[in-house]
Amino acid sequence: MSAVPAPTSAATNPVPFEFEAGPWSHHHLARVEQALSNWVGDGAPAGLGDAMRYAVLDGGKRLRPLLVMAAYEAVCSAHPAAAAATTTAAAATTPADDAALRAACAVELIHAYSLVHDDMPCMDNDVLRRGKPTVHVQFGEAQALLAGDALQAFAFELLTPDGSAIPPATQATLCRLLARAAGSAGMAGGQAIDLASVGIVLTEDQLRQMHRLKTGALLQGSVLMGAVCGHAAQPAYQALSDYGAAMGLAFQVVDDILDVVADSATLGKTAGKDAAADKPTYVSLLGLARAQAYAQELLQESYAALARSGLPDARALGALADMVVRRSH
């Protein structure tokens, strides 16, 4: 079953968009997979390169890269001529396209490194991920630690290509957004709060803060990085930031719901793990029905932010928020 039943009211994505099986996601997923395969592990010593590739090229949902691409295209829909004008004679794609593809890969590298380190014995001690042995099981703990470290560094290397036509200001801003989303006031900070919260009763504000950092910061960061690649103007940028915040929090609320309602086979990981670990969740705090209603509210917030953005075509972002809330795993 999906996490959040379709509402009985008219609260659906205002602009229908064939997403999951459609050509949009197929096209972008293929580009991102190809780019990751070309780039990851290139120039690394053999064992380390193998571990890095194993960690990344394993068929995740690639939600974060798709958010980058969807935000980039939504912003470009407001000024298609400007994007075209930056095309260089030598390149088949524009510098802005290149920046977006690099940003899409960079956010996935950060996500992948965080999974490698999270799975290690001193953290969650998981031996399986997506049906495969985790990186430390396959390559040893030391190599897993190094592979995670190297993937984080490589994310920033991808954003700052030498001799590129990507404007330096775009490169610097992308690094800033990614560093903040990944660091102590973002993903790593959220994980630290999570560590400290086992067995503790959090208020809703504290739980929201933990989730905004732990998963929300990188999801929102993905949206903002896509917006920067498309040179978003301020009002649209702010609206996309609001979209990213609502969608990012919805992702975690739904994760908490799925931990309760889904079985392990559908989920692809152990269900009921949060409760077993005595971790505070939206379900333990609000109960299942109110958590589902809250996810629905956040979905509406994300739609409203897209409407406020004034961007002519933000359908893919709407579809991604929809997928985040209605997914079954």
Residue of 2, 12, 29, 44 that binds its own copies (CB under 8 A): 44
Query: From CA 201, how far away is CA 144, in angstroms rounded?
Result: 33
State the Cα–Cα distance between residues 201 and 281, nearest whole angstrom: 10
Query: Two tokens at 200?
Result: 């503790």
Out of 11, 30, 127, 172, the only residue in the binding site for its own copies (CB under 8 A) is: 172
What is the closest distance, in whole angstroms, from the C-beta atom of residue 194 to its own copies in the complex? 10
Number of residues that bind its own copies (CB under 8 A): 57
If one asks whether residue 132 binds its own copies (CB under 8 A), the answer comes out as no
Q: Which tokens belong to 244?
A: 């990213």
CA 246 to chain centre: 13
Least distance in angstroms from the C-beta of 199 to its own copies = 15
CA separation for the pair 275, 280 (Å, rounded) = 8
Say which amino acid occupies 308.
R
CB of 218 to its own copies, least distance (A): 11
| DSSP E strands, 41-153 | 128-129, 132-133
Q: What is the DSSP secondary-structure string of 129-184?
A: ETTEE-HHHHH-HHHHHHHHHHHHHHHHHHTS-TT-SS-HHHHHHHHHHHHHHHST
Nearest distance in Å: CB 5, its own copies? 35
Of residues 176-215, those binding its own copies (CB under 8 A): 176, 178-180, 182-186, 188-189, 191-193, 195-196
Count of Cβ atoms closer than 10 Å to residue 118 Cβ: 16
Residue 183 Cβ, how far from its own copies at the closest point, in Å? 3
Element (H, E) at 128: strand 128-129
Minimum CB separation of residue 225 from its own copies in Å reads 13
Considering only the stretches 153-161, 228-236, 254-262, 317-325, report the one whose residues sit in contact with its own copies under the rule CB under 8 A.
Answer: 153-161
Residue 284 phi, psi (nearest 5): -65, -30
- Out of 94, 143, 215, 292, the only residue in the binding site for its own copies (CB under 8 A) is 143
Report residue 118 as tokens. 């999270």
Q: Is 293 in the site for its own copies (CB under 8 A)?
A: no
In angstroms, give the least distance from the CB of 156 to its own copies: 4
DSSP state, 213? I
Site for its own copies in 45-74 (CB under 8 A): 45, 47-49, 52
Residues within the interface to its own copies (CB under 8 A): 41, 43-45, 47-49, 52, 113-114, 117, 120, 122-123, 136, 140-143, 145-146, 148-150, 152-157, 159-162, 167-169, 171-173, 175-176, 178-180, 182-186, 188-189, 191-193, 195-196
